[in-house]
Structure 1
Amino acid sequence: MTENTEMAGEREERLRLIRDSAASLVPRDGDLNRVRRQRFQAPGVDRAAWAEVCAMGWPGLRLAEAQGGSGLGMAEYAALLEELGRGLLPEPLIEASLVAPLLPQAERDALLAGERLILPAGIGYEGAAARPRWRDGALRGEVAHVHLGAAADAWLVACDQGLALVESYAEGLELRSEPAQDGGHLARLRFDCTPARLLQAPPPALDEAALACAAYLVGAMDAAFERTREYLGVRSQFGRAIGSFQALQHRMVDLKIQIELARAMVAEAAAAIDAGAPTDQVQRLVSTAKVRASEAALLVTRQAIQLHGGIGYTDEADIGLFLRRAMVLLNAQGSLAFHRARYIALLHGEVA
């Protein structure tokens, strides 16, 4: 009993230190000036900020120490992402963390050191039928919706033969990007006999990336909620702070319940991964957490804007940035339709 208590205490201390480590890029006072400055700016990633992300060791948090990582658990990773979500960190940490264990050692070391930014292209739950074709050392086809793809030095592309590494300067490569709601962009990569290196790699940890996305959304909606609570405490009407109105208090309580439910589901799924639970159980819990966090984030951030009144709808109001980020992440790391369908299929399998 004492040993278990000590282990729990050590983990709580580790989680606290991880959350504290985010303060350098996510100011505790909620300042979003850096996020605003980076919106709609090419190439989409601030390399100085990314170097700081890598210096903190975040892309390798889940990697084994033998691979150059920290070897920490999913609970620690989720705690970090929740804290980063509070400050709307725009850097592609989830994507880089997904790619890191799939790379050869030299490329992995360069990624973890912040020397090269390698991002996934087409690596996900869906879209296998439309993957580019790899023949004789070259790719043909295209991949769409590559998050911050124009900022990458290389991409790890899901193709019909597995995973292929493509350099940004490769011949026969065409890149087009379109702005996203949150100020980032989505790139489309078109390959026309583009040189690519086929890799022997383990299966990507898609469920870990999906759960990290859910944790980020929990942090974002919680920050939006706290900003709204503070606003209701200072905005006056009829000589009273509007936060004292019972109808608004009821709405805020309902939103807080949604946040805590999403947080609890993320924690449960993270615990299952760390405990080595069966794959079908992990998949069910991850899909539940992703759907709950996505839907709750949309609800909370939309309500937050409404509760701010007319100013909440202006681009100058920071509260709107939370909704825009939630909209971009809504179908990231697996669409809502995919996760709902997978949960139902797994549930029916358990019942059968």
Structure 2
Amino acid sequence: MSAALDNAELAEAVRMLRDSAAGLASRGGDRRRVRALRFQPPGFDPAVLAAMAEQGWIGLLLPEQKGGAGLGMTALCALAEELGAALAPEPLVPAMLSGSLLAAAGADMPLERLVAGEALVLAAWQEAPSTLEAPGTPGAPRLFIPQAGGASAFLVPVRQAQGLELWLQPAEGAALQLEKTQDGGFFGTLRPEGGALLGSIGEDAVADALEQATLATAATLLGVMDQAFVLTLDYLRTRQQFGRPIGSFQALQHRAADLQIQIALSRASIAAAAALLDDGSTSRAARRAAVSRAKARASDAALLVTRQAIQLHGGIGYTDEADISLYLRRAMVLANQFGSAALHRRRFAAEAHDDMLGEDAA
């Protein structure tokens, strides 16, 4: 985050981001748009992603000299929450991850095109399920690339004797396989085949970019569960049984209160992790522990809230025609992106222990 921003300025920047998000992807959202894009390649609207780029969202974390806004994780998490609540399928967080990697590698030309919305470059870093490591194994298939069918190129970290190199592989002619996801999008599996060498990239830079994407995904899950809860409360207030709204039944009120607590705890852990990353003065172990705590909680809570929301809607909630089902589907896909809850619980235990011992890898 820019050091020039004080608390009041940051609060105003966050408010403006939420307002601008409402213009492109409202919380109350046009879920007809989401339904129309489901299972139709590339799974999102390139024009909407380009509009997000025009708003400066792809470069939100980048310094101003790199064409970015110079904001931090608190601002990004607010934006990601709004997009999660709107079920926006556009791959903004993956695009921002690519922006961070390109900036770290000093690849200014592809970075400029990405930030301007002229090209969608997606990072092909993952080689195994539920991991937050980018080993860069030469020739190994890169898995779970979100909305890969809409990419113009892929960023492929490759390990050489001297360290990690970042390669830019054009999407045209690439060995790419697409698989449908529960929410109507697509994951891509890429078999790396050369491309253009952009330069070397530090492993810490890759790790930091993945931490940011992980926390932004947790914030997206927060938006998903929060809006699912809002829809459920509306349903409980309007659905009549025995001559009165079902929301007046004490048993359902208790269930709703439990869900609200889970949402509040997730929001608090995400806000704390974002503040820690923006501060930057704490140990690397402490930052990783905070991100893992937020992601584990958000993944578990989002699945709990959306599943309970389905049940509280009754039989209609189990149908694909019910909008509430869209939120469960999105939570199921996002919950394991950038590491499952189980992985992050293990990592939290390890990193929090290391931090208590004073092991500072920063």
Q: Provide the TM-score with structure 2 as the length reference.
A: 0.89
Matched AA of 1:106? M
Bigger shift: 37-46 or 263-272? 37-46
Could you say which residue in structure 2 is the equivalent of 1:69? Answer: 68
Task: Report Cα offsets for 1:7-53 as digits up to 9, x if no partner.
Answer: 43332222111100101222243331111111111122311111111
Is residue 2:183 matched to residue 1:168?
no
Q: Contact 1:132–1:143 (CA<8 Å) still a contact in 2?
A: no
Task: Report Cα offsets for 1:231-258 as digits up to 9, x if no partner.
Answer: 0000000001000000000000000000
Matched AA of 1:199? G
Q: Distance in 1 between matches of 2:6 and 2:172?
A: 49
Q: Contact 2:215–2:270 (CA<8 Å) still a contact in 1?
A: yes
The CA deviation at 1:145 is 1.4
Is residue 2:113 matched to residue 1:110?
yes
* Counterpart mapping for 1:54-203 below 5 A: 54-103=53-102, 104-123=107-126, 125-126=131-132, 128=134, 131-133=136-138, 140-161=139-160, 162=164, 163-170=166-173, 173-191=174-192, 193-202=193-202, 203=205
Q: Distance in 2 between matches of 1:43 and 1:351?
A: 45
Structure 1 residues 240 and 290: CA distance shift in structure 2, 3 A: same
Q: Distance in 2 between matches of 1:333 and 1:127?
A: 9
The CA deviation at 1:180 is 0.2
Q: Contact 2:283–2:355 (CA<8 Å) still a contact in 1?
A: no
Could you say which residue in structure 1 is the equivalent of 2:257? Answer: 253
Could you say which residue in structure 1 is the equivalent of 2:348? Answer: 343
Q: Distance in 2 between matches of 1:110 and 1:128?
A: 24
Across the two proteins, how many residue pairs are aligned to each other? 337
Is residue 2:238 matched to residue 1:234?
yes
Q: Distance in 1 between matches of 2:69 and 2:201?
A: 20
Q: Contact 1:269–1:289 (CA<8 Å) still a contact in 2?
A: yes
Matched AA of 2:290? L
Could you say which residue in structure 2 is the equivalent of 1:272? Answer: 276
Is residue 2:224 matched to residue 1:220?
yes
Matched AA of 2:149? A
Q: Distance in 2 between matches of 1:242 and 1:31?
A: 27
The CA deviation at 1:132 is 4.1
Could you say which residue in structure 1 is the equivalent of 2:360? Answer: none
Q: Provide the TM-score with structure 1 as the length reference.
A: 0.91
The CA deviation at 1:198 is 4.6
Q: Distance in 1 between matches of 2:73 and 2:133?
A: 26
- Structure 2: runs of 5+ lacking an equivalent: 358-362
The CA deviation at 1:102 is 2.1
Could you say which residue in structure 2 is the equivalent of 1:289? Answer: 294
Structure 1 residues 30 and 244: CA distance shift in structure 2, 3 A: farther
Bigger shift: 83-92 or 289-298? 83-92
The CA deviation at 1:331 is 1.1
Bigger shift: 339-348 or 14-23? 339-348
* Counterpart mapping for 1:25-44 below 5 A: 25-44=24-43
Q: Distance in 1 between matches of 2:200 and 2:354?
A: 32
Q: Distance in 2 between matches of 1:350 and 1:143?
A: 32
Matched AA of 1:29? G
* Counterpart mapping for 1:321-336 below 5 A: 321-336=326-341
Q: Distance in 2 between matches of 1:344 and 1:337?
A: 11
Q: Distance in 2 between matches of 1:101 and 1:344?
A: 27
- Structure 1: runs of 5+ lacking an equivalent: 1-5, 134-139
Matched AA of 1:207? E
Q: Any idea what SS the aligned residue of 1:186 has?
A: strand
